[in-house]
Structure formats: C-alpha cells, structure tokens
C-alpha cells in the first residue's frame, strides 16, 4: 500500500514538473510579412512540444489519481 502511495506521489510530482516545463517553452512571435507569415514553422514546432508535454503531464496526473483510487479502495475494503 505504501509503495502505491509513493508511486502516486511520484506521478503527481512528475505531472507538475511537466506542466511547469510546458509553461516555459519559448513560443516565437509570428510576424506577417509581404511574403506571407514568418516563423510559422518554428511556432508550430514549439506548439507541438507544449502539446506533448501537456499530454505526458495529463497521463501522469491520471496515473496518480488511479493509484490513489486503488489505495482508497483497498483501505476501505479491509
């Protein structure tokens, strides 16, 4: 039971770190020029990175909540 609780804490901490990392990703400024939109490729690469970090963070948060639900279930059925 303690192992499951500690795993939950680790997943929650990892989720927090991933979300913090996604918040500090540098998004370049997109500028409109006569030739079109400049820096759009670097902007989309940065957005994909933010999206991936958020996806992993949400997965870690889900794992943490699931492990906590397992602990609650096991402690109430004993």
Q: What is the pTM of this model?
A: 0.84
Tokens 């943490």, residue located: 64
Per-residue model confidence as pLDDT tens digits over 6-21: 999 999 999 999 999 9
Long-range contacts of 68-74 (CB under 8 A, 24+ apart): 68/5, 68/8, 70/4, 71/1, 71/4, 71/5, 71/8, 74/1, 74/4
pLDDT digits (tens, 9 = 90+) for 26-51: 998 888 878 778 778 899 999 999 99
What pLDDT was estimated at residue 9?
97
Please check the confidence at residue 71 and state whether its pLDDT lies above 80: yes
pLDDT at 46: 94
When pLDDT is averaged across residues 50-66 and rounded to a whole number, the result is 98
């Amino acid at each position: 039971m303690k192992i499951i609780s500690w795993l939950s804490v680790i997943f929650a901490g990892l989720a927090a770190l991933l979300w913090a990392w996604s918040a500090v990703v540098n998004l370049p400024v997109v500028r409109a020029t006569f030739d079109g939109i400049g820096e759009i490729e670097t902007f989309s690469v940065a957005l994909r990175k933010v999206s991936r970090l958020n996806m992993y963070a949400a997965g870690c948060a889900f794992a943490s909540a699931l492990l906590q639900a397992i602990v609650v279930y096991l402690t109430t059925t004993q």
